[in-house]
Structure formats: structure tokens, C-alpha cells
Amino acid sequence: MQTVLITGAAGGIGTRLRQLLKGIYPNIRLSDVKRPADLAPDETFVQADLANMAEVEKAVAGVEGIVHLGGFSVEGAWDTILQSNIIGCYNLFEAARRHRVERVVFASSNHVIGYYPRRRRIGVDVALRPDSRYGVSKAFGEALGALYAFKHGLRVTCIRIGNFGDAPVDRRRLSIWVAPQDLAQLVRIGLDHPDVRHEIFYGVSDNVRGWWDNAAAFRLGYRPQGRSEEHSAAALAADAKLPPDPVGEWYQGGPFCSDEFSDGIERAPL
């Protein structure tokens, strides 16, 4: 893999991955709707709005692999989600097909399965239970990835990112935390591993309180280095100061589940 495009390169995850992947791939191209404030002289940037196919094609042309982080990264109004995460995601995959890109690593989210109870351990093959419009858009992206893998031969990896950061900051995130270096490792598997055709991984570190079976990632060599339990004292102390949230505390998606909640299933048994 010589030339890799990172979309959403100005965001928090994109900024860290730029640093962690630098020197591993000879040419890394960055793209976002806005120019990163810390763009270095040796970095290549192509400005692109994902909802604009012509701009997306310009960003994609000539690359072999794509790390697709771009889009709206939290819950939002439907039209915002539609333009950025659904139309934009379609444009990205279709542009990749047109320009014969070999691989796409798609940043999915834990919010595609947010309405599973915390007491249930799940793998990647369960029915999706998105907890928000944002989660629905990521479910769409996973489905689109499968379409382009099986119909058009793209090698696609979808990573259901938990919570990305230097340390977990509350009880929920002790279960879903992913250290930056571990996410970079999963991205590299998606870009490089010869056996990848279509895969779904959970983007989590070595979390003893975890809810997800990440066997697919381990099968392809994933060996997480971050251990959330090392941060448990600080995380639990911070969690004790949070306001009560009966719905969010029951479900894996946390506050995404309780936000706008009305007449739903307050405590699904399974």
C-alpha cells in the first residue's frame, strides 16, 4: 500500500491517525471540508465536501486505500446526517469503485448496536439496533461496504469504534474504550492484511469489562495494547458525579439511547 487517503483528517481521530500512520505508508493524502489547522509542509491536502461527488472523486483519484473517517460524528438533524453520512458515504464508495481503489476502511460506530443491554455480550453478526439517526447512518455505511465488497470486489473493513481517547473517562467507556495505537493497528489490518475481503471489527482495546466479542479482529492478528482497567479508579470516580440516566445506563449506547427517548423499551431483557 503506497498511497492512502484519510477523509475527515481535520477531526480528532483523523488528527491522531495522521501522526500514527505517518512513515508507514509512503504517501498519505488528507481530505476534509476544512483545511487542518496543523497541516505540515510535507502533508498533501485535498479539500472535499463528501456530498459533492466531483470533489470526492478528485480526492480519491490515484489512491490505493482509503480510511473513511469523514462525516458528521455525533447525533444531528436528519438533513445533516443525510448529506454527510449517507449521501457522502455513497459518494465515497462509488468514487472508490470508479477509480479502482483496492481497499476501504470504514469508520463505523458502536451506535449501530446501541440498544443491546450492557449485560449481553455480542459479536459482529447480531441484528443491528441503532440508537440514533447517527447510528442508522453508520448501519447504512456497513451495508454499503458489504455491497461494494461482494458486488464490486473492494476489500472492505468496517470498524465499530467504541470510544477513542487517551483514557476511558467513565464506567461505560471502561467497556468500550479504544486507545489510539490500537485503532491504528486495526486500520493497518484493514489496509494490509491479505485475507481481508469484507470484515467487521469492534474498535476496542483490551477491556476486561467489555461487551463485544472481537474474534474477527483477533483472527487477523489484532493484539490490543491498551488496558482500560488501568484507568478504572479515575473513570469510576468521574462516573459517580454524572446525573442518573436509567435508560442510558441500561443500554450499551448510553446517552445516545436516552436522548429523545419516548415510549420505547426502557429495559430490553436481551
Active-site annotation holds for 134: yes
| Structural domain count, the chain | 1
266 within domain boundaries: no
pLDDT value of position 260: 98
pLDDT of 176-195, one tens digit each? 999 999 999 999 999 999 99
The domain containing residue 41 runs over which residues? Answer: 3-258
What is the SS3 assignment for 255? Answer: helix
What are the mean pLDDT values of the chain's consecutive 10-residue runs (270 residues total)?
95 96 95 91 94 98 98 96 98 98 98 98 98 98 98 98 98 98 98 98 98 98 98 98 97 98 96
167 within domain boundaries: yes
CA distances (Å), 15 to each of 10, 22, 25, 36, 47, in order? 6, 11, 16, 8, 15
pLDDT value of position 182: 98
pLDDT value of position 237: 98
Query: Which is it for strands 44-47 and 65-68: parallel, antiparallel or unpaired?
Result: unpaired
> CATH no. for residue 244?
3.40.50.720
269 within domain boundaries: no
174 within domain boundaries: yes
265 within domain boundaries: no
Which one from 25, 115, 116, 134 is the annotated catalytic residue? 134
